[in-house]
Structure 1
């Protein structure tokens, strides 16, 4: 099919729709043969996600006069659009509705005739090599335009500041276009659903901008000032990697449909977490790398799956409610000012006990001021893959139950006050690729096993009484098995002699004590001893006579 698909479809003269996406097609027929193709009835042509590595042949878009939908996305078609026929030809089709030529290698200018497509509702021309500029003239008659994707483009977007679009977009994608919002602010405020402005290095204050869409992706820019006004119907918000500052506006408290929020790496401050109690549908929450203060609230969404509050200034204790979120599989509270102990309760973290292949199950409480013993419940979360309790003041021993955490890939208990021996069960953690037990008070010998010996000495340093490979600092007795065996033999002999002595004493006093206390037993005992003595005397005499016949003869005379 990949070599003769043109000829195959040519025999289908009444074909209305041709959809050959992701079929590994790799060629167009170049030359005069394309003139003989008969696709006059074709309305829809989808050839996306193939492997065309050629120019687009001339006359390709003269195949039919009634085509309304064309998708050539995600191919390797290169060069300028042949004779500009793709846009010029389509520009003469008033019923044309859908055009996607994104993610190819088309070059050249974009003709203004594109603006004549009054029925066009979907336009995606990004991720190509087009040059020049695109202005409001290209959109002057696009009354039906619903979705616009200009992402990953090098051309200049130049809209008049007072231009009022003749359409209202449902989705706008301007990712990685190196533009600023002033050039298309008239577009952004009217979008109803999705707005993609990520990866643009935009350095503007958009505090007064009102965004009415339900999904906002403004990450990886340099936005300044406060957060913009957001629609109460928003359910996905990503403002990460910017320079937003100030507190969370009260308007965000009304985001009753919010499922996802990412404010990672900004300069936001204040007691933001009070809003969390109102976000009852929240599933993913990333507020890390900011300057938020106060305590972690008690009332959280029971649907939370990811909680990241890392690198803030949060104080107080960890609420028990956090460990009763059934869907939680990623908890990161590291680098705060949290104190107290880890709550001792019946952990209801179902997703950290049952298997879920698509999720990386993580608990990170490092770099706080937490103290006390670590509850056994934490080590019963057998599906946890990453556990980091480092740089706190935890005490106690590592429980043997840690051997049941078979999926553990990274374990960091360093810089605490743990003590005791390392459990032998840890050598069974076969997926463990990172281990740090340094700077504690562990003692004894590191359990022998290929897993624990595969780490270098830095994983164990700072434990003065810990020895064994890879530290190799055990005492002479432990390093010489013969001495250890001799010591074991001597200990065994001492134990044997001690046992015999104790047994004799118990037996002696058990019998003699009875003789002294019971008269009948005492008389019977003496009669028994007297009888034994007589029998011994007779026996000895017989032996003497046997050995000396003369003595026997004399006794008989």
Structure 2
């Protein structure tokens, strides 16, 4: 490969090539696109590839590469837009330094043997979080000379991408519009970190992820494909127009996950509702009982005091002065507002009754007598 120092595109996809990627690939300093998809390559990704710092498109899908995903991919291939490592034998953690790939729009690490947690820094993948891609063009100008003349043209990359449960071939014109993270069919554990709001496709299915689905998932307004099936998620599916629009197949295989679109309710919802109703009814009954318990003595006391007041005013009797004394004495002792209110209500009630009785007696005086 040292004979091609200015090579920009290397596409050997869909052949029967095998063996390791030669270290000499590092001499292709101008390489922008490397496509080795669907071959029988094996071994580890050579560190010399890190010298190809102009790489934008790296497709190693459907081979037999193994070992850890190199951390230098994030450190030295900062211009990567597409990183496609589907269906290999990569193992170990997802390197934290992959979060340094600020231009990534398609990250496919699916169908490997990756383990550990999903890095929380994944939300720092800037392009996946923006409405518009920072990369302007993904096609490559091509010019070459042979014995017959000089030629110019454009090369457009192609890649197989899982979209809505189906593997489809996309060219650059369509690839550049996608914002995809596919980590499915690995051995990842832990919780889902906060995700980018502009993400269009997220596949975390067939892992060992657990915990509650983060409420931030309800804010993924551009998400058109979601697959969280066959993990160990639990609790309630976050409520949003977006989340409930997905088919139940996006959530199946999580026995402790509940809520729409899986189930109408979560375990304990009916019980909680019943307990809330019963508790509310019981509380209301207790409140009413407590009210009457405190209100009744007030009424009785008010009635007694009011009656003493009426007697003190109306009676022409030696006990009149005693009634006045009792009335004043008790009135002074009514220091709180509640008792005063009870006294006022009871007194008014007695006075009303007295006036009604007087009116009744007066009306009887005007009744016509019945002759025999």
TM-score class, shorter: 0.5 to 0.7
Task: Give the whole-Å Cα distance in 1 for the aligned partners of 2:34 and 2:343.
Answer: 102
For 1:439, the equivalent position in structure 2 comes to: 253
**1:418 aligned partner:** 233
* Mapped partners of 1:298, 1:538: distance in 2: 93
Q: Which residue, out of 335, 349, 365, partners 2:183?
A: 365
Cα distance in structure 2, aligned partners of 1:348 and 1:281: 21
Task: Assess if the C-alpha contact under 8 Å between 1:283 and 1:306 holds in 2.
Answer: yes
CA apart distance, 1:251: 1.1
Corresponding residue to 1:294 among 64, 67, 81: 67
How much does 1:540 deviate?
5.8
Separation in 1, partners of 2:280, 2:344: 41
Q: Say if 1:402 and 1:426, in contact at 8 Å, map to a contact too.
A: no
Partner of 1:351: 127
Where structure 2 has 5 or more consecutive residues not aligned to the other structure, the ranges are 134-173, 297-328, 366-372
Distance in 2, matches of 1:391 and 1:232, equals 42
Aligned residue in 1 for 2:48: 275
Deviation sequence 1:357-401 (CA, Å, 0-9, x none): 84211110001000000111x2xx222221100000111222332
Give the Å deviation of 1:237: 0.6
Q: CA deviation at 1:287?
A: 0.8
Aligned length, in residue pairs: 282
**Of 201, 211, 223, which aligns to 1:396?**
211
- Call closer, same or farther: CA 1:507–1:297 in 2, change over 3 Å: farther
* SS state at 2:91 partner: coil
Deviations 1:260-297 (A, max 9, x none): 10111111111125334222111100111111111111
Distance 2:284 2:66 in 1: 67
- The correspondence for 2:28, drawn from 252, 255, 268, is 255
Change over 3 Å in CA distance of 1:503–1:538 after alignment to 2: closer
Identify the match of residue 265 of structure 1 among 10, 20, 38. Answer: 38
Q: Shift of the alpha carbon at 1:421?
A: 1.7
Q: Distance in 2 between matches of 1:499 and 1:254?
A: 84
2:6 corresponds to: 233
* Mapping of residues 66-215 of structure 1, within 5 Å: 212=3
Gaps of 5+ in 1: 1-209, 213-230, 448-459, 461-465, 469-473, 479-483, 509-519, 553-557
Q: Point out the structure with the larger helix share.
A: 2
Counterparts of 1:329 and 1:271 in 2: how far apart (Å)? 24
In structure 1, what is the equivalent of residue 334 of structure 2?
525
2:199 paired residue among 376, 384, 388: 384
Using the size of structure 1 for normalisation, the TM-score is 0.43
CA RMSD in angstroms, aligned pairs only = 4.2
Q: Runs (4+) of structure 1 moved beyond 3 Å?
A: 426-430, 432-435, 441-445, 484-508, 520-523, 526-549
Q: CA deviation at 1:321?
A: 1.6
The offset of 1:348, in angstroms, is: 2.7
> 1:538, CA displacement in angstroms?
7.3
> How do 1:313-332 residues align onto structure 2 when only pairs under 5 Å count?
313-332=89-108
Residue 493 (structure 1) shift: 4.2
| 3-state SS, counterpart of residue 234 of structure 2 | strand
Question: In the alignment, is the contact (CA less than 8 A) between 1:328 and 1:352 conserved in 2?
Answer: yes
